[in-house]
Amino acid sequence: MAGDVVGHAAEAAAHGVDLVPIVALLGAAVIGVPLFKRLGLGSVLGYLAAGLLLGPSGIALITDPESVLTIAELGVVMFLFIVGLEMEPSKLWALRKQIFGLGVIQVGSCGALLTGVGILLGFAPVVAFIFGMGFVLTSTAIVMQILGERGELATDSGQRMVSILLLEDLAIVPLLAVVALLAPSSGEEVGMVSRVVGILIPIGAVLLLIFVGRRIMNPFFALLASTKLREVMTAAALLVVLGAALLFQASGLSMAMGAFLAGVLLSTSTFRHQLEADVEPFRGILLGLFFLAVGMSLDLSIVGQNWQIIALSVVVFMLVKAVAIYIIARLLKSSHGVALERAVLMGQGGEFAFVLYTTAVAAGIIDGPTNAIFTATVIVSMVLTPFFIIGLRYVMPKKAEQSMDGVETADGLSGRILIIGFGRFGQIASQPLLAMHHSVSIIDNDTDMIRAAASIGFKVYYGDGTRLDILHAAGAGNADLILICTDDKLQTTRIAELLRDEFPLTRVMARAFDRSHAIELLRAGAEFQVREVFESALTFGGKAIGMLGATAEEAEEVVEGVRDRDRQRFDRQMAGEDWRNLGTLLLSNAQEQARESGVNVSEDAAEDAAEDALGKPVQPA
């Protein structure tokens, strides 16, 4: 009986799908990656080592790593889609100087230096240019994976690296065009029409994706959501990612950039978190497969035959690129620690180098053996990066770590009211609630604050309100009211958006930093907001006029007038009116303020006051 089963399995393998490589890849990932992480070597190095073991240079269980790498590149595509989901258009616009400023400076400077290094190593100028510019293109997969594991994608330092990576992904397009121009002439002339079409097609692809993203995707997902079939939503999420990647690839652009743009366009969608949850498992598996494929692609026989030039190229290229990145970062006012970390993280070559080198071979600029040397150089640099990151721990400035002594993490909380953030604002806001004996749960991510609160009788749990799993653990789904009392603008907005998308029936109040942040919070789903200094400043001003002789009734009337005028301006801004176009309201406010002071002011004088406030002429209604 057992023999029959084995025989049937063997026959099925012979005529169907060969499961041995698939099982081996999964087994290597499941066993090798946790082992390497446990040893402190990181998941990326675990994947690379497992791939090297399974590939042609190891036990040769998989003999065609190129086919695996082609599929696995979809992991990078999906990673960029998820990054795009976190990058709303306003945030992307805010990063424009970093993308086209810092990014261009780093790519241009490193490209020029590495081209010079290639020439010194004995390569022809054109070949050195291809070698150097390929190595400039940092591995998006490695940097994103490391930043993601550390939770640093949203930090200032992480955002700068993401900006540079985006510019490098964009740079592959003009680089491929340059390769075509540098290719030896085949005797065929390319007409002007063909050149124009070659420029218009990528532009048309970008415009088409923007149109579909802004006009079609949201209604499309709303229609699918009405079916209440989870598998359909998952299929639709994959369709969006792969469809955008295919559109850009067919247009001569980067697949990863297509997925990233699709993510950005969906970042303001109510389905954003659902899409992220649907794509994340595929992203994780395929990105791991990508690192496995890179490990398989390292041909040790080529490395052995050309070890001198490869070793020299790896050392010099990584050193020159890292030093250039460090100097640029320092010149642009980054700290020593941030500059050093960026230099080490971005010192390697990346996956887009393979695309550039393969295109150069097809164009006849470099030959096969040279391509093998260039590719091996990039792969070795990618393999070495995790080791350098381990070494970085010992030279980076030490950061003070929070002690968890005496601190409990949020888990299974059930208070009817949830307070997120227990600084000065949260402490004061909690007191009326506690005085009325409401059931209150409190979370904060500052362990020193939690211990200080415990010393005076407050029970505060440790938790990061920007994480959905923490919000669930803190009881956000069962709370009647949630108070966001954090003091960071981006963090507060992020929490409000998470609550709106995941707990739409829960009432939310939020602490705003200023007027624009208050508007942002209301649009993010908060039911009520208060600017942190507005009411205290009004009280302060009211006391000031009281000390100067105003009666309590007069002071209250003046303060209420200021509050009412501010409310009018705020309501108009919420309705979409630009504050710079509120001249009529400012004009009436100037006249009203003058009357409250017992002074009759002509309309012309009031208009002059309004012009001073706006910095431009206004027209009375």
* Pick from 596, 597, 592: nearest CA to 610: 592
**What is the distance between the alpha carbons of residues 87 and 525, in angstroms, rounded to a whole number?**
18
Q: Indicate the number of domains in the chain.
A: 3
Q: What is the DSSP letter of 309?
A: H
CATH at 466: 3.40.50.720
Give a yes or no: residue 470 inside a domain. Answer: yes
Domain boundary among 505, 532, 559: 532
Does 366 share its domain with 506? no
Q: Is residue 238 part of a domain?
A: yes
Instruction: Single out the residue of 360, 365, 342, 372 nearest to residue 110, CA to CA.
Output: 342
Say if residues 535 and 546 touch (Cβ distance below 8 Å).
no
Q: Cα–Cα distance between 179 and 164 in angstroms, integer?
A: 22
The last residue of a domain, from among 392, 425, 448: 392
169 and 259, same structural domain?
yes
Last residue of a domain, one of 328, 359, 392: 392
- Residue 280, amino acid: E
Same domain, 512 and 609: no
Task: Tell me: do 368 and 424 sit in the same domain.
Answer: no
Does 386 lie in the same domain as 356?
Answer: yes
**Residue 303 placed within a domain:** yes
Average pLDDT over every residue of 322-338: 89
Looking at the domain assignment, is residue 397 inside a domain? Answer: no
Helix (H, G, I), strand (E, B) or coil at 69: helix
Q: Do 383 and 484 belong together in one domain?
A: no
Task: Establish if 141 belongs to a structural domain.
Answer: yes
Residue 581 above 60 pLDDT?
A: no
Whether residue 338 is found in the same domain as residue 372 = yes
Among 140-149, 150-159, 202-211, 497-506, where is mean pLDDT lowest?
A: 150-159
Other CB atoms within a 10 A radius of the CB of residue 45 amount to 23
CATH code, 158: 1.20.1530.20
Same domain for 260 and 137: yes
In whole angstroms, give the CA distance from residue 252 to residue 172.
10
pLDDT mean over 597-620: 48
The reported pLDDT for the residue numbered 604 is 54
Looking at the structure, tell me whether residues 373 and 462 fall in a common domain: no
pLDDT surpassing 80 at residue 173: no
Per-residue model confidence as pLDDT tens digits over 518-574: 888 988 889 999 998 888 899 999 899 999 988 988 889 998 988 888 888 888 877
- Of the chain, the percentage scoring pLDDT greater than 90 comes to 14
Tokens encoding 90: 């306003």
Which residues partner with 484 through β-bridges?
420, 510
Question: Which are the contacts of 152, defined by CB distance < 8 A and separation ≥ 6?
Answer: 158
Range of the domain at 479: 417-532
User: Are the beta carbons of 59 and 235 closer than 8 angstroms?
Assistant: no
Residue 258 located in a structural domain? yes
Residues 596-607: pLDDT tens digits? 455 454 555 545
Do residues 376 and 303 touch, judged by C-beta distance below 8 A? yes
**Within 137-191, where are the H helices?**
140-150, 156-182
pLDDT of residue 14: 53
Alpha-carbon span 97 to 74, nearest angstrom: 29
pTM for the full predicted model: 0.58
Six-digit token string for 191: 């007409």
Give residue 304's identity as a one-letter amino acid code: G
H/E stretch holding 319 reads: helix 307-331
- Based on the domain organization, do 497 and 382 belong to the same domain? no
Residue 386 has a pLDDT of: 82
Task: Clarify whether residues 228 and 310 are in a common domain.
Answer: yes
Please write the tens of the pLDDT for every residue from 34-55.
887 777 666 777 777 888 788 7
Question: Any idea which of 72-76, 210-214, 420-424 has the lowest mean pLDDT?
Answer: 72-76
Residue 404 lies in a domain: no
- Residues 523 and 558 placed together within one structural domain of the fold: no
User: Cβ(150)–Cβ(142) under 8 Å?
Assistant: no
